[in-house]
Structure 1
Amino acid sequence: MTNPEIGKSIVANGIRTNYIEEGEGPPLILIHGSGPGVTGFANWRGVIPDLARHFRVIAPDMVGFGYTDCPADIKDFTLDVWVAHIIGLLDALGIEKASFIGNSYGGALSLATAARHPNRVDKFVLMGAAGLDFKMTEGLERVWNYEPTLENMRALMTTFAYNADLVTDVIVQSRHEASLRPEGRAAYERLFPEPRQEKLSRLATPEDDIRRIEHKAMIVHGREDVIVPVENAYRFSSLLKHSELHVFGECGHWTQIEKRDRFVELVTPFLLG
């Protein structure tokens, strides 16, 4: 049986990288979050078909996650490592400039890429994004301190969504099985060791650098997000001069799932405009 999470493969910055690609048009990079068992496919499967009607959608597994190789010589996972990986992916795919949608950790990486390599980024969307220095939430501590059991995965997934009914057995089982892969588990333990507050702070782009970003940006956040607080969205709105802000009530950390149709309706014309 074919695993839908395994797509195409390419060497990006020396790292064999797994990515999903669908559609034609302007390139759009979708960067996943940092939860256990996450892949580009798992994070974005619900919106890829819609976005692929307008864009060349590319959803990679970033180094340390999913089915992308995790070289042993990477001793410390930092924004430097991840930005180099995403720029290497653009280079390997022959993409001069792309738009980005980043979820949580992926938002921090999208933001850092725009700040450090402005000529490689067109527009970007931050969804439940990290990327600012904020106090570690109890929800995020549970994500990064995850111990793999089916019960723990179900409990964790229900913290992501405001409406727990959205957390299906299929989602729980697939994420649980992915988190059990020995190579994936070994990589995950290397990603966010203690002290985790320090690791979170190192995902932040300095506020002065954010203020200098000239790209058009959209900020999307769930009001009831217990992983990354909605206050981050308001701070991003004040720092990003060419930005618009959308806050969804009765929505947690999974806007692309909890408010799927409206999310697609918002981001598509913004990115095409």
Structure 2
Amino acid sequence: MDILGRAESPLTEEEWLALTAGVQAVAKRHLVGRRFLPLFGPLGAGVQIVQTDRMPGWDLAQVSMVGQTADVAPIERIYQPVPLLFHDFVIDWRDLEQVRHQGGLWDWTRAEAAASYVAIAEDRLILEGQREQQLDGLLTVRGRHVLEAEGWDAPGDGFHNVARAIQHATGAGFPGPYAVLVGVSTYAQWHRLWGRTDVLEVTQIEHLAGAGVYRSPLMPEDVILLMATGSENLDLAVGLDWNVAFMEATRMNYIFRVLETVSLRIKRPGAIVEIRRTLPE
């Protein structure tokens, strides 16, 4: 079944390849969450529900000669939706005619802009979840650790806050490696010399964390987010990965859609440590 409607579209196979490649290239540049989240899938475009087993952060395996002890059941099994993220764009009939009859080059700007909007939607879903769909995000899930920062603006404060978060995560049973996510201003602030060395503070933080330091314009500037990476802790379930569909022809123009279906699975919320500049009273 051609769910993307490509057989009915005005584009050739080569044009579809170029369009899809352009959209996916934009997504790769813009997406932040996928840089540290393992992917689960693709599961298929028709998958609307995915299960997530919530497990404890720290538990000892059984020791026995014959193995007759019961397995530990998950704390909670969640059946969560896999929402559709999309943005539509238009190819004008005159642009199509120009390419067909005058040998012009395709300008995929509208498609690439649509891809950037969907990328923002994906990262927002990962960070904030969606209350209407009862989806948790990294910044909203219950069970994450929330600590108050010990200093913020002075040189070295970023490193010490991340070190404290790592100490907390390790003590809770999450040995890392860790990914660190901050806002754009905080990330820029960390590009300062470390002590009396010629090494940047952000470089020291990267070495300490082990799985990278990332920035996102969607992150609050008063928050440092640290996550123990690995599919045992969290992953991104993908139904239909990044693609483009033909919707319809209307008023002589052609409507297309950039789309994907994804859902963040947080299996062990304790793998997330949030450092806040100040805690709410």
Q: Same fold (TM over 0.5)?
A: no
Quick check: which has more Rg, 1 or 2? 2
The two structures have a TM-score, normalised by structure 1, of 0.26
The two structures have a TM-score, normalised by structure 2, of 0.26
Q: Structure 1 or 2: larger strand share? A: 2
Q: Structure 1 or 2: larger helix share? A: 1
The structure showing larger relative contact order (alpha-carbon pairs under 8 Å, at least 6 residues apart) is 2
